[in-house]
Amino acid sequence: MDGFSKFITEYKKGDIICKEADLQEHFFIINKGKVQVKFEEKDLVLITLSKGDFFGEDSLLASQLAHYTVEAIEDSKIIKIPVPSLSEMMKKNKDISFKILKKLSEKNTKTVDSLIMMQNRQKIDLGDEGLPDPPEIETEELTAEKLNPGLKVYLVIQRSNRVVQLTKNSTSIGRRDYTTGFVPDVDLTKEDEEKYISRKHSSISFSEDVFYISEEPGAVNGTFLNGNKLNTGVKYELHNGDEITLCHLNMIFKY
Protein backbone atom coordinates (compact mmCIF):
# COMPACT_ATOMS: atom_id res chain seq x y z
CA MET A 1 0.00 0.00 0.00
CA ASP A 2 2.93 2.34 0.63
CA GLY A 3 3.86 2.17 -3.04
CA PHE A 4 0.31 2.88 -4.17
CA SER A 5 -0.62 5.65 -1.70
CA LYS A 6 0.72 8.50 -3.85
CA PHE A 7 -1.65 7.49 -6.64
CA ILE A 8 -4.86 7.72 -4.57
CA THR A 9 -7.49 9.99 -6.15
CA GLU A 10 -10.77 10.94 -4.50
CA TYR A 11 -14.07 10.93 -6.40
CA LYS A 12 -17.49 12.17 -5.31
CA LYS A 13 -20.70 10.24 -5.84
CA GLY A 14 -21.77 10.75 -9.45
CA ASP A 15 -18.27 11.51 -10.79
CA ILE A 16 -17.34 9.84 -14.08
CA ILE A 17 -13.97 8.18 -13.59
CA CYS A 18 -13.46 7.08 -17.15
CA LYS A 19 -15.70 7.23 -20.19
CA GLU A 20 -16.42 4.82 -23.01
CA ALA A 21 -14.06 5.34 -25.98
CA ASP A 22 -11.52 7.29 -23.88
CA LEU A 23 -7.89 6.27 -24.34
CA GLN A 24 -6.95 3.95 -21.48
CA GLU A 25 -3.75 5.12 -19.81
CA HIS A 26 -4.39 4.23 -16.16
CA PHE A 27 -5.14 1.18 -14.07
CA PHE A 28 -7.64 1.71 -11.22
CA ILE A 29 -7.86 -0.12 -7.88
CA ILE A 30 -10.74 0.70 -5.51
CA ASN A 31 -9.47 1.52 -2.04
CA LYS A 32 -12.81 2.75 -0.67
CA GLY A 33 -16.33 3.15 -2.05
CA LYS A 34 -18.21 1.65 -5.00
CA VAL A 35 -18.39 2.20 -8.75
CA GLN A 36 -20.63 1.00 -11.56
CA VAL A 37 -19.31 -0.24 -14.89
CA LYS A 38 -21.88 0.46 -17.61
CA PHE A 39 -22.63 0.90 -21.28
CA GLU A 40 -24.11 4.38 -21.50
CA GLU A 41 -25.59 4.06 -24.99
CA LYS A 42 -27.61 1.01 -23.96
CA ASP A 43 -28.28 2.34 -20.42
CA LEU A 44 -26.98 -0.98 -19.12
CA VAL A 45 -25.16 -1.45 -15.80
CA LEU A 46 -22.77 -4.34 -16.30
CA ILE A 47 -21.34 -4.75 -12.81
CA THR A 48 -20.84 -2.98 -9.47
CA LEU A 49 -17.31 -3.00 -8.04
CA SER A 50 -16.18 -2.29 -4.47
CA LYS A 51 -13.08 -2.26 -2.26
CA GLY A 52 -10.30 -4.47 -3.65
CA ASP A 53 -11.77 -4.65 -7.14
CA PHE A 54 -10.11 -2.99 -10.12
CA PHE A 55 -10.86 -1.79 -13.63
CA GLY A 56 -8.93 -0.30 -16.53
CA GLU A 57 -7.16 -3.54 -17.40
CA ASP A 58 -7.57 -2.56 -21.06
CA SER A 59 -4.81 -0.03 -20.41
CA LEU A 60 -2.31 -2.89 -20.29
CA LEU A 61 -2.73 -3.07 -24.07
CA ALA A 62 -1.13 -0.27 -26.07
CA SER A 63 -3.45 2.47 -27.39
CA GLN A 64 -6.58 0.69 -26.18
CA LEU A 65 -9.89 2.58 -25.90
CA ALA A 66 -12.22 2.01 -22.95
CA HIS A 67 -15.12 -0.32 -23.71
CA TYR A 68 -17.28 1.08 -20.90
CA THR A 69 -18.00 4.05 -18.65
CA VAL A 70 -17.22 3.89 -14.94
CA GLU A 71 -19.18 6.07 -12.48
CA ALA A 72 -18.68 6.46 -8.72
CA ILE A 73 -21.93 5.57 -6.91
CA GLU A 74 -20.42 6.43 -3.51
CA ASP A 75 -17.73 8.85 -2.42
CA SER A 76 -14.64 6.82 -3.28
CA LYS A 77 -10.88 6.69 -2.95
CA ILE A 78 -9.32 5.02 -5.97
CA ILE A 79 -5.72 4.22 -6.80
CA LYS A 80 -5.24 5.69 -10.29
CA ILE A 81 -1.89 4.41 -11.41
CA PRO A 82 -0.24 5.13 -14.80
CA VAL A 83 0.46 1.93 -16.71
CA PRO A 84 4.26 2.48 -16.86
CA SER A 85 4.38 2.76 -13.05
CA LEU A 86 2.26 -0.36 -12.66
CA SER A 87 4.50 -2.27 -15.07
CA GLU A 88 7.57 -1.38 -13.00
CA MET A 89 5.86 -2.55 -9.81
CA MET A 90 4.81 -5.83 -11.44
CA LYS A 91 8.40 -6.48 -12.54
CA LYS A 92 9.71 -5.90 -9.02
CA ASN A 93 6.93 -7.70 -7.12
CA LYS A 94 5.46 -10.92 -8.52
CA ASP A 95 2.76 -10.92 -5.82
CA ILE A 96 1.19 -7.85 -7.44
CA SER A 97 0.98 -9.66 -10.80
CA PHE A 98 -0.55 -12.73 -9.17
CA LYS A 99 -3.17 -10.71 -7.28
CA ILE A 100 -4.15 -8.82 -10.43
CA LEU A 101 -4.62 -12.09 -12.33
CA LYS A 102 -6.66 -13.54 -9.47
CA LYS A 103 -8.90 -10.47 -9.20
CA LEU A 104 -9.32 -10.37 -12.99
CA SER A 105 -10.59 -13.95 -12.88
CA GLU A 106 -13.06 -13.06 -10.10
CA LYS A 107 -14.22 -9.97 -11.98
CA ASN A 108 -14.81 -11.92 -15.18
CA THR A 109 -16.86 -14.47 -13.25
CA LYS A 110 -18.93 -11.75 -11.59
CA THR A 111 -19.54 -10.16 -14.99
CA VAL A 112 -20.74 -13.45 -16.46
CA ASP A 113 -23.05 -14.00 -13.46
CA SER A 114 -24.44 -10.48 -13.93
CA LEU A 115 -25.14 -11.12 -17.62
CA ILE A 116 -26.89 -14.41 -16.80
CA MET A 117 -29.08 -12.66 -14.23
CA MET A 118 -29.98 -9.97 -16.78
CA GLN A 119 -30.90 -12.65 -19.29
CA ASN A 120 -33.13 -14.44 -16.78
CA ARG A 121 -34.86 -11.18 -15.82
CA GLN A 122 -35.48 -10.47 -19.51
CA LYS A 123 -37.09 -13.89 -19.94
CA ILE A 124 -39.45 -13.16 -17.06
CA ASP A 125 -40.30 -9.70 -18.43
CA LEU A 126 -41.13 -11.26 -21.82
CA GLY A 127 -43.36 -13.86 -20.24
CA ASP A 128 -41.09 -16.77 -21.11
CA GLU A 129 -40.34 -19.48 -18.63
CA GLY A 130 -37.69 -18.05 -16.35
CA LEU A 131 -36.38 -18.30 -12.82
CA PRO A 132 -38.93 -17.95 -9.99
CA ASP A 133 -38.51 -15.27 -7.37
CA PRO A 134 -36.55 -16.58 -4.39
CA PRO A 135 -38.62 -17.32 -1.28
CA GLU A 136 -38.23 -15.26 1.87
CA ILE A 137 -36.84 -18.31 3.66
CA GLU A 138 -34.24 -20.33 1.82
CA THR A 139 -33.84 -24.04 2.52
CA GLU A 140 -30.52 -25.78 2.01
CA GLU A 141 -30.10 -28.53 -0.57
CA LEU A 142 -30.64 -31.88 1.13
CA THR A 143 -27.32 -33.44 0.14
CA ALA A 144 -26.28 -34.52 3.64
CA GLU A 145 -27.82 -36.20 6.67
CA LYS A 146 -30.97 -34.31 7.55
CA LEU A 147 -32.02 -32.79 10.85
CA ASN A 148 -35.14 -34.09 12.56
CA PRO A 149 -38.05 -32.46 10.66
CA GLY A 150 -39.44 -31.30 13.99
CA LEU A 151 -36.44 -29.01 14.52
CA LYS A 152 -36.93 -25.54 13.03
CA VAL A 153 -33.50 -23.94 12.93
CA TYR A 154 -32.62 -20.66 11.19
CA LEU A 155 -29.85 -18.16 10.63
CA VAL A 156 -30.98 -14.53 10.29
CA ILE A 157 -28.34 -12.65 8.27
CA GLN A 158 -28.63 -9.10 9.54
CA ARG A 159 -27.01 -7.21 6.64
CA SER A 160 -29.63 -8.42 4.15
CA ASN A 161 -32.32 -9.57 6.63
CA ARG A 162 -32.21 -12.91 4.80
CA VAL A 163 -33.43 -15.97 6.68
CA VAL A 164 -31.89 -19.37 5.93
CA GLN A 165 -33.37 -22.56 7.35
CA LEU A 166 -30.83 -25.19 8.36
CA THR A 167 -31.79 -28.75 7.45
CA LYS A 168 -28.58 -30.76 7.83
CA ASN A 169 -26.69 -32.20 10.76
CA SER A 170 -23.61 -30.40 9.44
CA THR A 171 -23.90 -27.04 7.67
CA SER A 172 -21.01 -25.21 5.99
CA ILE A 173 -20.94 -21.38 5.96
CA GLY A 174 -18.80 -19.19 3.70
CA ARG A 175 -18.47 -17.84 0.16
CA ARG A 176 -18.67 -19.72 -3.12
CA ASP A 177 -15.48 -20.52 -5.01
CA TYR A 178 -16.00 -19.83 -8.70
CA THR A 179 -12.73 -21.55 -9.60
CA THR A 180 -13.43 -24.94 -8.00
CA GLY A 181 -17.23 -24.75 -8.11
CA PHE A 182 -17.57 -25.12 -4.32
CA VAL A 183 -20.77 -23.64 -2.88
CA PRO A 184 -21.25 -23.66 0.92
CA ASP A 185 -24.61 -24.64 2.39
CA VAL A 186 -25.06 -21.05 3.60
CA ASP A 187 -23.65 -18.94 0.78
CA LEU A 188 -22.74 -15.42 1.96
CA THR A 189 -21.26 -14.25 -1.35
CA LYS A 190 -23.93 -11.59 -1.91
CA GLU A 191 -23.75 -10.22 1.62
CA ASP A 192 -19.94 -10.20 1.75
CA GLU A 193 -19.23 -7.70 -1.03
CA GLU A 194 -15.88 -6.87 0.59
CA LYS A 195 -14.77 -10.53 0.23
CA TYR A 196 -13.47 -10.79 3.78
CA ILE A 197 -15.16 -14.12 4.56
CA SER A 198 -13.35 -17.32 3.60
CA ARG A 199 -14.75 -19.88 1.15
CA LYS A 200 -14.98 -22.49 3.94
CA HIS A 201 -15.20 -20.20 6.95
CA SER A 202 -17.16 -22.06 9.63
CA SER A 203 -19.71 -24.81 10.21
CA ILE A 204 -22.71 -25.54 12.41
CA SER A 205 -23.20 -29.13 13.57
CA PHE A 206 -25.84 -30.99 15.56
CA SER A 207 -24.92 -33.83 17.89
CA GLU A 208 -26.70 -35.41 20.89
CA ASP A 209 -29.39 -32.70 20.94
CA VAL A 210 -26.86 -29.85 20.99
CA PHE A 211 -25.90 -27.39 18.24
CA TYR A 212 -22.27 -26.36 17.86
CA ILE A 213 -20.33 -23.84 15.78
CA SER A 214 -16.67 -24.16 14.83
CA GLU A 215 -14.25 -22.24 12.64
CA GLU A 216 -12.81 -24.18 9.71
CA PRO A 217 -9.02 -24.58 9.30
CA GLY A 218 -7.64 -21.93 6.97
CA ALA A 219 -10.39 -19.38 7.67
CA VAL A 220 -9.12 -15.81 7.99
CA ASN A 221 -10.44 -12.65 9.67
CA GLY A 222 -12.01 -14.55 12.55
CA THR A 223 -15.27 -16.13 13.73
CA PHE A 224 -16.98 -14.72 16.83
CA LEU A 225 -19.73 -16.01 19.11
CA ASN A 226 -21.46 -13.26 21.09
CA GLY A 227 -18.38 -11.10 20.57
CA ASN A 228 -15.84 -13.73 21.65
CA LYS A 229 -13.32 -14.96 19.07
CA LEU A 230 -13.35 -18.70 18.41
CA ASN A 231 -10.31 -20.93 18.26
CA THR A 232 -10.02 -22.76 14.94
CA GLY A 233 -11.28 -26.35 14.99
CA VAL A 234 -12.89 -26.10 18.46
CA LYS A 235 -16.65 -26.69 18.83
CA TYR A 236 -18.63 -24.10 20.80
CA GLU A 237 -22.17 -24.73 22.01
CA LEU A 238 -24.92 -22.65 20.40
CA HIS A 239 -28.08 -21.37 22.06
CA ASN A 240 -31.20 -19.70 20.76
CA GLY A 241 -30.56 -16.00 20.08
CA ASP A 242 -26.77 -16.29 19.94
CA GLU A 243 -24.98 -13.80 17.66
CA ILE A 244 -22.51 -15.32 15.20
CA THR A 245 -20.08 -12.97 13.45
CA LEU A 246 -17.95 -14.00 10.50
CA CYS A 247 -15.36 -11.22 10.26
CA HIS A 248 -17.81 -8.29 9.89
CA LEU A 249 -21.09 -10.08 9.04
CA ASN A 250 -23.55 -10.70 11.87
CA MET A 251 -26.07 -13.53 12.04
CA ILE A 252 -28.56 -14.58 14.71
CA PHE A 253 -29.02 -18.27 15.48
CA LYS A 254 -32.69 -19.16 16.03
CA TYR A 255 -34.48 -22.41 16.84
- pLDDT tens digits, residue range 11-66? 999 999 988 888 888 888 899 999 988 887 666 777 788 888 888 876 766 557 77
Same domain assignment for residues 143 and 249: yes
Same domain assignment for residues 211 and 118: no
- Is residue 57 in a domain? yes
Burial group, residue 81, by CB count within 10 angstroms (0-12, 13-18, 19+):
buried
Same domain assignment for residues 100 and 177: no
Q: Which residue would you say has higher pLDDT here, 254 or 136?
A: 254
Q: Which residues of 55-78 are buried (b: 16+ CB within 10 A; e: fewer)?
A: bbbebeeeeeebebbbbbbeebeb
Question: What is the torsion angle, in degrees rounded to the nearest 10, for the CA atoms of residue 139, residue 172, residue 144 and residue 142?
Answer: 20
Same domain assignment for residues 9 and 121: yes
Q: What is the pLDDT of residue 39?
A: 80
Q: How confident is the model at residue 102 (pLDDT cuts 50, 70, 90)?
A: low
- Is residue 132 in a domain? no
Same domain assignment for residues 197 and 102: no
* pLDDT digits 0-9 by tens, 134-192: 444 444 444 457 877 778 899 999 888 889 999 999 999 999 887 777 899 999 998 88
Using CA atoms, how far apart are residues 176 and 187, in angstroms rounded to an integer? 6
Same domain assignment for residues 50 and 88: yes
Same domain assignment for residues 113 and 177: no
Q: What is the pLDDT of residue 150?
A: 78
Q: What is the pLDDT of residue 65?
A: 79
Q: How confident is the model at residue 237 (pLDDT cuts 50, 70, 90)?
A: very high
Report field, pTM of the whole predicted structure over 0.75 = no
Q: What phi, psi does 7 have (nearest 5°)?
A: -100, 5
Q: How many domains does the chain have?
A: 2
Using CA atoms, how far apart are residues 6 and 169, in angstroms rounded to an integer? 51
Same domain assignment for residues 166 and 218: yes
- The residue among 125, 152, 175 that closes a domain is 125
- Is residue 130 in a domain? no
Same domain assignment for residues 100 and 9: yes
Q: Which of 80-89, 115-124, 127-136 has the highest mean pLDDT?
A: 80-89
- Residue 153: domain span: 137-254
